[in-house]
Amino acid sequence: MSHGTSSPGTRSFRTLDEAQVKGRRVLLRVDLNVPMENGRVSDATRIERVVPTIREIADNGGRVVLLAHFGRPKGKPEPKDSLHPVAAAVAEHIGRPVAFAEDCIGEAATEAVDALKDGDVVLLENTRFHAGEEKNDTDFVKALAANGDLYVNDAFSAAHRAHASTEGLAHVLPAYAGRTMQAELEALAKALEAPKRPVVAIVGGAKVSSKIDLLENLVTKVDALVIGGGMANTFLHAQGVAVGKSLAEKDLATTALKIMEKASAHNCAIILPVDAVVAWHFEANAPSQAYGLDAIPEDGMILDIGPQSIERVRAAIDDA
């Protein structure tokens, strides 16, 4: 068995190195919430990330039962959010057949899982077709757990939500981190527990509201915090920059200023854009132009950082 960078003795979580999978049903939570166009996967990045974990378990004789969500159905079946078309894309990437079950619990799931032989893979239907998923309902957790002997979580990108398939299962089955999860957790430990300084963090995304705690925590740990994405617009607005029609949470201006004050108290430099790429429509290939922050058009929207900002971020990363 090969071990990652840290031995089980120093690691605070169990990995596949410690899991006995042969002949056992492995409930593997993955993130398959991929972009679709005309019934086909248009960007397979998330599938590619979990291929090593699926292959490793299957190669070692595990019976792989994939659990995933797709879109935001409101706790009931929604044909447009079915994972069925994703099964073929997963099969293509792992180079072996992937069966599909019309439900993630109940008879359809049990039949599909019972049909597996060692090394086989099945994808169960969207976990969010049941209200119990997002509620982390104990009965739903039990119904999911009935089809597995152990649980492996490889969905780091969905791990911030305590849902039945991302958190609940870890309490009722022996639980392990998949290889993607392991790599992410090891990288976080390296960056935040005892980092080589100076250390720079980069955050983006649409909203400040969903990351307030994260930002307040980060400014006490890093030497510089680069803020981009829609989130940067909220900070720029808080500083009095006119952001036009850009996505910004204007009601969080005081929160943004509070985070900046906390950063300053902890000697953390906050690096915000100094210029921006502006377009008039939020769509691929829309005509765009770079503007300084003092000249954002009233009817335009900031959709990216500008060339000077890119150089500034590059310099911060080079220093780190």
Average pLDDT, the chain: 93
Same topology for domains 16-184 and 195-319, yes or no? yes
Question: Mind listing the pLDDT tens digit for each residue in 24-34?
Answer: 999 999 999 99
Is pLDDT at 1 greater than 50 in this prediction? no
The residues pairing with 124 across neighbouring beta strands, listed in sequence order, are 101
Which sequence spans correspond to the domains of the chain?
16-184, 195-319
Is pLDDT at 7 greater than 50 in this prediction? no
Is pLDDT at 299 greater than 70 in this prediction? yes
Is pLDDT at 145 greater than 50 in this prediction? yes
Q: Residue 70's pLDDT band (boundaries 50, 70, 90)?
A: very high
Query: Does CATH place domain 16-184 in 3.40.50.1260?
Result: yes
Q: What is the CATH number of domain 195-319?
A: 3.40.50.1260
Residue 11: which residues within 8 A CB-CB, separation 6 or more? none
The residues pairing with 290 across neighbouring beta strands, listed in sequence order, are 277
Backbone angles phi, psi at 38, to 5 degrees: 50, 45
Q: What distances in angstroms separate CA 202 from CA 23, 65, 198, 211, one per listed residue?
A: 42, 34, 13, 13
pLDDT attached to residue 159? 87
